[in-house]
Amino acid sequence: MHAGSNPSRGTMNWKVEKLQAGEVIISKEPGNSMTPIIESKQAVEITPCTWEECEKGDIVYCKVNGNLYTHLVKGKNLKRGLSIGNNHGYVNGWTKKVYGKVTKIL
């Protein structure tokens, strides 16, 4: 799911702030890119983590090319980080900017 936000420079997304502070958050994001695993606006619990703690198949909250996503980890590489994509075959790119992992679909 696309987080639907590209925060202005100098401001931080509240979800990123809370995750970086070590807080577990509940998120409901619009979009169909993660169906049928996660439906549009379906609540998910996201627990703070780093990219190193993630594996292929995990669903993470991350930033790729300036955009925030709750998407699948498609691959992992020590130099490039995580390959991120949706549940329909599209790959957004590589990132090490991972803020949390979906630990529960509510």
Q: What percent of the chain has pLDDT over 90?
A: 89
Position 9 scores a pLDDT of: 47
Position 11 scores a pLDDT of: 64
Q: What is the pTM of this model?
A: 0.88
Which residues of the chain are modeled with pLDDT < 50? 1-9
CA distances in angstroms from 50 to 53, 55, 98, 99, listed in the order given: 6, 11, 6, 6
CATH of domain 14-105: 2.10.109.10
Domain boundaries, the chain: 14-105
Surface-to-core class of residue 97, CB atoms within 10 Å of its CB (0-12 exposed, 13-18 middle, 19+ buried): middle
Look at residue 60 and give its three-state secondary structure: strand
Non-local CB neighbours of 9 within 8 Å, separated by 6+ positions: none
Match 């599209």 to its residue by tokens.
Answer: 90
